[in-house]
Amino acid sequence: MRSMTLPRSAARLTAGAFSLLAAGALLAACGGGGDGAEPVAGGTKAPAATEQPATTDTGEGTGAAEDEAWPDSAAIDSALGQWAGTVSVETLASPDGLPFLISHELYDSSHGLTLDAAALESTEYLGSHSATCTGKVKVGSSPALCTLTGFEGEEYAGKDLTATVHLVRSGAGNHALLMAVGEGETTELALPDGTQLLLGKVDHGNEVTGEMIGAGLVEAARQAAGPDGEVTDNAEVTCKIHGDESHAVCQLSALDEGTSGFWYATVQPGSDYEGYTYLYTQFIE
């Protein structure tokens, strides 16, 4: 099976574009029908969204995280146009459960961090699959390629699996490995430039709400901050469906300055077939 090749075009959201976002009026949450949903893990479709996604308060705060004016749909679409062709706005095709995205937090904020093949092979996820890697990675570089073994499940039987590995900035100033696991050849991922990325899980249900997507963002931020997650115990988040349940705009607050702010969520194929996976991309101020 050949994976879909995404265009390489990837652009940074400029300060002017973010100003356009922040200046908008309150976004009206738009519900989407299940028929128009994009594919998620295992090639299924995302369930229908509610028309008014709820607000999630994950700590002891006041609830809704709406400290800044919420952008309107036109302003958001204009800014997101600069990410066209990247996985921040487009769902990776995965008709047979491959490829899927997975991330591994490194808890390393070193400037100019570089990992060579040996360092990649010793990380938890790749090491658990006896990976053999070629190349090295740093933020913004070409990816490394790793061959994997030891996958369980009929869907992987007899398949030669590879991981296309990127080093990205995640929350709290740390770094993570963002990997696309596919069959036989490199899965090309076009990534946005100069921003933070988080990968989060959303519970499986008959419908996806803003509350569920927000809970996934908070948990992803918690994992990025550290294994114990204490930094984000009082995090507050509001997520509103944008277009359909495959996308949402979220505001995260009560965190460090590097993680608080607006994020954009896009559903992606993940390794957890009991739930949904969303890639969260932070708008750049």
pLDDT at 158 over 60: yes
Pair of tokens at residue 268: 């992606």
What local confidence, expressed as pLDDT, does residue 68 receive? 63
What is the C-alpha R_g of the chain? 18
Mean pLDDT, the chain, integer: 76
Pick from 49-53, 162-166, 274-278: least confident:
49-53
What local confidence, expressed as pLDDT, does residue 230 receive? 58
What DSSP designation does 91 have? P
On whether the pTM is more than 0.85, the answer is no
pLDDT at 58 over 70: no
Comparison of pLDDT for 206 and 230, the residue scoring more: 206
Task: Report which residue type is found at 40.
Answer: V
Asked whether the beta carbons of 30 and 214 are under 8 A apart, the reply is no
pLDDT digits (tens, 9 = 90+) for 73-113: 787 888 899 899 999 999 999 988 889 999 999 998 898 99
Q: CA nearest 122: which of 140, 104, 138?
A: 104
List C-alpha distances in Å: 84 to 80, 88, 141: 7, 8, 19
Pair of tokens at residue 29: 């949450």
What local confidence, expressed as pLDDT, does residue 113 receive? 94
What local confidence, expressed as pLDDT, does residue 45 receive? 32
3-class secondary structure, 249 = strand
Asked whether the beta carbons of 187 and 133 are under 8 A apart, the reply is no
Pair of tokens at residue 213: 């997507």
pLDDT at 52 over 70: no
